[in-house]
Structure 1
Amino acid sequence: MIALAVFRLAAYIRSHRVYQALLLTLAMVAIVYGSRAPRGAEVSVLTDGAVLLIPVLAWAARSLLDTEPDRQREMSAIQAGGRGKEVAAGLLAAFAACAGFAALGLAWALLLGVSQAPRSGLLASVLFLYGLSALSGTVLGALTSRAVLRSPAVSIMALILGFLVMLLVSASSLYWLTVPLIPWMRAANAGQLLDQIVPLTAVSLAWCLIGLAAYLWRRRGV
């Protein structure tokens, strides 16, 4: 499974699709961190970056999962020893790509976007949010990949609308139905991120697990 994940990640890079997500990531962080955040606003700005990265990461995950032709995917399932291992390898490769882009965005933010790094506890919370961002992007990208939505136009629209719905729902009292992006930002702005990181993480992971379950169900025999 690991070998197949590496193979799919390498194919994603060789196909040059990786540059789409790379350019989107660089453009996004260049805009968000065009000037250094003032002292005291570091956590808020870093959290905003984690939220805005999610659609870019979803695009990266979707592109990676769509790189391999359908017939090749079927052959990979046979060689890997079953559909489950092929699906797991694809998700692992997609998460690795998303984690790489998230790390790039965070590195840019810490080096060029803030006046100083947050204290250790808050920095750990921010790092955790970027990990959740990578996982959320992976799940959203998987749910809009070709194996789930055959039409490229529908797939792209679903990805964009999915992120917008995530924002709108998380801004309401029903935020627990999705990844609570707006509560992430509210907690960071209020200086309460460290205190609220556990419940926010629990809600985020719950949505990701439900999304992964839906993807796995859809991939049965596909």
Structure 2
Amino acid sequence: MRPTALLTRFKISAYLRSHRVVQPFVGLLAVMIILYSSRVALGQELPSYGDSAALLVPVFAWATRGLLDTEPDVQRLISVTAAGRPGREVAAGLAASALVSAGLAVLALVLPLAIGFRALPGTAVLLGGLALHVLSVLTGIALGALSSRPILPDAATSALTMLGGYVAVLLLSLAPVTWLTVPIISWMRAAGQDAFLSRSLPGLATVTVFWCALALFAYIRLRRTRP
């Protein structure tokens, strides 16, 4: 296997053995209980997925931050050396974060089908829910990476930055200009509108991917000076 793939598997294994995954898993369950304590009315399945995607951003950020913080600083330097290039270690960390967050997102998509919805929704709803949670995962990874220990060594500052960043994005996304930040509130609003996949999703996805790519670019650049 390639060094990046091996290192990705190593990081996921270390994260699972550390039991840090329990924390975002409990957070996800809390969100699921809040949203689906009563059955969702017929026709409201996609809006409920929109609410889920918006509320799970800090959960995915928490998972990313926890995974990137699992290795002690010395072990991380050893991983950089073993990978051959610093960029491989950074890529492995982001890939591992994406896989863990994707696993949590799958649970968020599947659990409502068993306990939350009155009837199995159609393909358009499932695709819309999948798209919304992909955007949520991207946002969570970007936020979690920028608040991880390689960037912010102090644990308290890191946690406050992660939560404060989420709140700031929420507040900014209340503005009528959707391109100002990741439009989390717009995800929720658009999910309740007709023709979400064809009319609203492309624009929301473009803005979200742009800001997440910018944040991840900043993370990668910062890791060049904070190995």
The match for 2:220 is 216
Q: 1:182 pairs with 185, 202, 207, which one? A: 185
Q: 1:163 pairs with 161, 166, 169, which one? A: 166
The match for 1:97 is 100
Kept in 2, the 8 Å contact 1:102–1:130? The answer is yes
Q: Deviations over 1:192-217 (max 9, x none)?
A: 42221111110010011001001001
- Give the letter for the 1:116 counterpart: A
How do 1:115-126 residues align onto structure 2 when only pairs under 5 Å count?
A: 115-126=118-129
The match for 1:201 is 205
Kept in 2, the 8 Å contact 1:4–1:80? The answer is yes
- Give the letter for the 1:56 counterpart: V
Q: Does 1:108 align with 2:115?
A: no
SS in 1 for 2:75: helix
SS in 1 for 2:8: helix
Kept in 2, the 8 Å contact 1:11–1:67? The answer is yes
Paired residues, number: 222
- Give the letter for the 1:78 counterpart: T
Question: TM (normalized to structure 2)?
Answer: 0.94
- Give the letter for the 1:131 counterpart: V
Q: Does 1:10 align with 2:13?
A: yes
Q: Deviations over 1:25-46 (max 9, x none)?
A: 1111111111111001111011
SS in 2 for 1:100: helix
Cα distance, 1:150 vs structure 2 = 1.2
SS in 2 for 1:198: helix
Question: TM (normalized to structure 1)?
Answer: 0.96
Q: 2:62 pairs with 47, 59, 62, which one? A: 59
Q: Deviations over 1:37-82 (max 9, x none)?
A: 1001111011101110110110010000000011111110111111
Q: Deviations over 1:6-30 (max 9, x none)?
A: 1000000001111111111111111
How far, CA to CA, are the matches of 1:23 and 1:219 in structure 2? Answer: 30
Cα distance, 1:173 vs structure 2 = 2.6
Kept in 2, the 8 Å contact 1:122–1:193? The answer is no
The ranges of structure 1 where at least 4 consecutive aligned residues each deviate by more than 4 angstroms after the TM superposition are none
Kept in 2, the 8 Å contact 1:42–1:117? The answer is no
- Give the letter for the 2:133 counterpart: Y
Q: Which runs of 5+ in 2 are unaligned?
A: none
Q: Which runs of 5+ in 1 are unaligned?
A: none
SS in 2 for 1:36: coil
Identity of aligned residues (%): 44
